[in-house]
Amino acid sequence: MAREFVHYGIHFLVPLLLSVIFYKKQCLKSYLIFLSAFIIDLDHLTATPLFDPLRCSIDFHPLHSYLAISLYFSLLVPSKTRLIGIGLCIHIIADGFDCLLM
């Protein structure tokens, strides 16, 4: 139960807090961009079985590979890609904590 709370707390609450604290004027827009990072979970559709609660997604799924993760962190540098980069990095951090708590 704690694992799910941490995982989904990072996925939903951390982006909300960042939006409220750092992007006050565009709070809703930034929050929705952060949440749009869930799109990378489409790579879970390539796995068999589709869902395995004991599987660590980091470096298992293509969009959760170390190469992809390095790209996500590089998106933090240019201001035009920073919001999606933050969302993707939060997503990977949430999945990383999930792996640690397994």
Rg of the Cα atoms in the chain: 14
65-75 residue pLDDT tens:
999 999 999 99
14-36 residue pLDDT tens:
999 999 999 999 999 999 999 99
45-83 residue pLDDT tens:
999 998 888 899 999 999 999 999 999 999 999 999 999
Please give the pLDDT value at position 53: 84
Nearest to 37 by CA among 17, 58, 64, 59: 64
Q: Domain segments of the chain: what residues?
A: 2-100
What is the value of pTM for the model shown? 0.93
For 72, counting Cβ atoms within 10 Å of its Cβ (0-12 exposed, 13-18 middle, 19+ buried), the class is buried
Classify 68 as helix, strand or coil: helix
